[in-house]
Structure 1
Amino acid sequence: MTIAPPVRQRSGLALFFAVTFTWTWAFWLVAISLGGPAMTSPTVIPYLLGGFGPVIGAIVVRVRRARRRQPAPAHTVGIRPSMRLFWVPPLLVLASATVLAAALLAQLVGGPMVSLAPGRDLIATVGGPVPFLVSMLIAGPLAEEPGWRGTAYPRLRASMSRLQAGLLLGVVWAVWHLPLFFVNGTVQADLGLFSWSGLLFSLSVIPMALLTGYAYESAGVVAAIAVHFGVNATMALLGVGSPVTQAFIVAVQMLVVLTLLALRRTPRTDQPARTDQVVTGPSHQISRSRG
């Protein structure tokens, strides 16, 4: 299968960003204008719908690619062979461990004590462990990863290294979240945009983008979803909000992901795709179902 030339991949990327930001920000601006708490009617409807912008963007790009019969981007990662899925549990544990390790380090330097009390209160508020897990899985991981990692990331990798693609996508991802700082009742609004907590939240999106990008290249979108879920769920269970803890999360995750990227980096696999390259062997793991 011939790899789509960079110009087509950039076209798909522009379409994805346009659809994603238009969909998300339009709904979130409606939520802001309504003024009510995010999880109360009627604000909850545009608030929740806005979060699905990346998935909508991914669907639009895939439909256009299918109609034009275009090949998948060079760095698209499917879930075959099934052996790839063995990476998912370790990556999920690693993602959660970065948050827990950061919380423990913050406690050692005088930050908040590590406690599951906030998590127990949150679980009781949402109606139990199952609703908590479902909400943590849908709001963020499932609503975003097919777009950010499954669609945008492979197209960025057409002309960038893993590090460059992750950093750029992290900045875009952070900007995408900005309207949430003005939606009452969201985590971001509680932190405050012009505060250390708000600044660190936006900064933390960058190592998260690198970590989920690493997971995507390991086992596809499923692994990216697992990493996203692991970080979000662990932060919610620990009630992370302190700037000290957030700063340690940024530092720990950046250290972990840079180490992982350094260990994986090779001249052959970390370079942008050649425009004249033809994929013929199974080692490339190109799948038409993703990208």
Structure 2
Amino acid sequence: MTIATPARRDGGLTIFWVVTFTWTFVLWLVAIALDGSATTSPTVIPFLLGGFGPVIGAIVVRVRRSRRREPVPTHTVRTRLGARLLWVLPMLVMASTTVLAAALLSEALGGPTLSLTEGRELIATAGGAVPFLISMLIAGPLAEEPGWRGTAYPRLLASTSRLRAGLMLGAAWAVWHLPLFFIDGTIQAEFGLFSWSGLLFTLSVFPMALLTGYAYELAGVTASIAVHFGVNTTIALLTVKSPLTQALVLAVQIIVASALLASRRNRRSDLPVQGHQETAGVR
């Protein structure tokens, strides 16, 4: 009988955490030490590269698994052309709607007036709509989702529930973002770590982890990327910065995530688990 070692039992999850956090924290600490803006050279280089920590961690785990000829984790969801990808657009719309609904509710309650003025300026600064959308897709969704959802999430599901897996991943995600509060030019630094906006940003990653996890189970990494992209882009375009609007986004997303998780519990047989199959993403 072969006794599995702890490293083998966790499917490379420990290695993923170590590589992801080491890569990101080393580069972001360099950016902090340079004491410049995240939008100007030379600080922009380690700042941008640091954001790819999760995908680097995913690649390392994938290479290690391939060399050892280990099976794909049981809860890995395969992304392939077909009916499953039809969920991607609804997930994108749902994600954007959570932010838009919260912004409208905030305005109705006396918060900031809904405006695209700063969003248009952001697009102009990026060089147009296409460069803006590409930058929003790469910085965050593509740089992170193959790691957080495509690699860590299915491995966590092997030993715990969806809710716990999502919350554990949310906690790791929140800690991962902390250095950004000390890099000038980031939205986190603008908020400040010890402020209501900083606290609300940190808390916001928990329902986001649940929403992206739900999307991943529906249609794989492509769907989780769509949710991440939809939320980030809508927040940027609507310039969601006030604590009231942030709090309402948090509340709306908690409600939506709770409803989606409840629907999953009521349809257990509907879990799209693809045991021992490869995914169109990094596993």
Q: Same fold (TM over 0.5)?
A: yes
The alpha-carbon deviation at position 72 of structure 1 amounts to 1.1
**Is residue 285 of structure 1 aligned with residue 271 of structure 2?**
no
Paired residue secondary structure (2:220): helix
Within 5 A, what are the aligned runs for 1:1-291? 8-80=8-80, 82-266=82-266, 268=268, 284-286=273-275, 287-289=277-279, 290-291=282-283
The alpha-carbon deviation at position 285 of structure 1 amounts to 2.4
The number of residue pairs the alignment matches comes to 277
Paired residue secondary structure (1:114): coil
Greater mean alpha carbon deviation, residues 90-99 or residues 70-79 = 70-79
Check the 8 A contact 1:216/1:223 in 2, yes or no: yes
Which residue matches 1:280?
A: none
Amino acid at match of 2:139: A
Greater mean alpha carbon deviation, residues 226-235 or residues 123-132 = 123-132
Distance, in Å, in 1 between the alignment partners of 2:111 and 2:198 is 17
Distance, in Å, in 2 between the alignment partners of 1:270 and 1:207 is 22
Q: Percent identity at matched positions?
A: 69
Amino acid at match of 1:66: S
Distance, in Å, in 2 between the alignment partners of 1:285 and 1:5 is 24
Distance, in Å, in 2 between the alignment partners of 1:267 and 1:246 is 32
Cα distance per residue 1:106-129 (max 9 Å; x no partner): 111111111111101111111111
Distance, in Å, in 2 between the alignment partners of 1:30 and 1:144 is 20
User: What TM-score results when the alignment is normalised by the length of structure 1?
Assistant: 0.91
Cα distance per residue 1:161-212 (max 9 Å; x no partner): 1111001100110000000000000010001000000000000000000000
Distance, in Å, in 2 between the alignment partners of 1:79 and 1:266 is 24
Give the RMSD, CA atoms, in angstroms.
1.8
The alpha-carbon deviation at position 9 of structure 1 amounts to 4.4
Q: Unmatched 5+ residue regions in structure 2?
A: none
Cα distance per residue 1:76-111 (max 9 Å; x no partner): 001136211000000000000000001111111111
Distance, in Å, in 2 between the alignment partners of 1:232 and 1:180 is 16
Paired residue secondary structure (1:113): coil
Please identify runs of 4+ aligned residues in structure 1 that moved more than 3 A.
Answer: 4-7, 266-271
User: What TM-score results when the alignment is normalised by the length of structure 2?
Assistant: 0.94
Check the 8 A contact 2:99/2:231 in 1, yes or no: yes
Amino acid at match of 1:162: R
The structure-2 alpha-carbon separation of the partners of 1:156 and 1:6, relative to structure 1 and needing over 3 Å to count, comes to farther
Distance, in Å, in 2 between the alignment partners of 1:7 and 1:42 is 38
Check the 8 A contact 1:54/1:146 in 2, yes or no: yes
Check the 8 A contact 2:84/2:218 in 1, yes or no: yes
Greater mean alpha carbon deviation, residues 71-80 or residues 49-58 = 71-80
Cα distance per residue 1:201-231 (max 9 Å; x no partner): 0000000000000000000000000000000
Distance, in Å, in 2 between the alignment partners of 1:193 and 1:12 is 32
Which residue matches 1:277?
A: none
Check the 8 A contact 2:74/2:274 in 1, yes or no: no
Check the 8 A contact 2:11/2:155 in 1, yes or no: no
